[in-house]
Amino acid sequence: MILPIILLVLGLLMLVKGADWLVDGASVLAKKHNISDLAIGLTIVAFGTSAPELVVNSVASMGGYPDIVFGNVIGSNNFNLYIILGIAGLIMPLSVQSSSVWKEIPLSFLAVIILLLLTNNFFLQESTGLSAMDGAILLMFFGAFLFYVFTQLKSEPDNNDIILKKYSTPKIWGLILTGLAGLVFGGKLVVDTAVTMAQTLGISEKIIGLTIVAAGTSLPELATSVVASIKKNNDIAIGNIIGSNIFNIFLILGLSSLINPLEYTVTFNTDLYILGAGTIFLFIAMFTGVRKKLDRWEAALLLVFYLGYTAYLVSKEM
């Protein structure tokens, strides 16, 4: 049991250090090219931390496991919204830009509604699920999202030449790519080791799937947003979560359904409703307490609710 513990600690260290490098590299990249931290968080960081979901879903789709495809995306999105924003918001209340309040958060809610409509046969499909045509529709929305980010989120020039001269372009991308590698491999090491330890302790595969594996692909988002919160870089912390949730639905499910049409189990609707409700709560939270800020008590509500919901799911399976 000593070796798995060592591997678990090593994986966690890789996650933390990888997140540290990724946040630093992404922040300097934003300043160097006069791009806002939020734009970087919504794109480069979000795509990088969504890499585990992309890999898992591509393999699951090719293998014909639609429940894994939908469970991974919907479960990861809920984990991102409730657990990661909850933890990051408890560490440091998160200030949110006006564009996030009025555009990105509503867009992430729109993604949930579109997924709900496409998967539940609202457009006269022969059966529930995502067809190749549905996948193309999701990818079109993803393209529109990228166009919006790259045209709307420029920042003012940063005059801190000392910081910018310290980091050459190769060094910046080295930090970003090394950080992403640390997140992906560290996340995989933590998940694999935790599953092995759980099986050794006699915990059922159902419980492992509902807890360790479901949360495992969101470990990069967790590490990145927590580190960004500690570094008081709220735009990357918020942008990472909102961007990842949009990426997961529009890009990852879009590609997954192009690889192989996906049958949809309607029991996932409950989790989609919870995802939609959490997104609405996040929007409302921008107007309660301190405006345009996720306060600690609001973050705590997100965290407590989802921990309770997860406990309920686990109790049903035992």
pLDDT band at 124 (very low <50, low <70, confident <90, very high): low
Q: Is the pTM of this model over 0.85?
A: no
State mean pLDDT over 130-150.
Answer: 90
> Residue 125: pLDDT above 70?
no
CA distance 266 to 256: 18
CA distance 265 to 183: 31
**At 230, which amino acid appears?**
I
CA distance 153 to 34: 10
Asked which of 54-63, 239-248, 296-305 is least confident by mean pLDDT, the reply is: 54-63
Q: What are the tens digits of pLDDT across the range 250-271?
A: 999 999 999 999 888 888 899 8
CA distance 7 to 249: 32
> Residue 81: pLDDT above 80?
yes
CA distance 244 to 78: 11
Q: Are 239 and 44 in contact (CB under 8 A)?
A: no
**Which domains, ranges and CATH numbers included, belong to the chain?**
2-317 (1.20.1420.30)
Burial label for 283, CB within 10 Å (0-12, 13-18, 19+), is middle
State mean pLDDT over 131-146.
Answer: 92
User: 158-163, long-range: CB within 8 Å, 24+ apart, which pairs?
Assistant: 158/31, 158/32, 158/34, 160/31, 163/28, 163/31
pLDDT at 254: 94
State mean pLDDT over 240-245.
Answer: 87
Q: What are phi and psi of 43, to 5 degrees?
A: -120, -80
> Residue 209: pLDDT above 70?
no
pLDDT at 253: 94
pLDDT at 268: 86
Residue with tokens 């791009």: 35
Asked which of 66-70, 146-150, 204-208, 225-229 is least confident by mean pLDDT, the reply is: 204-208
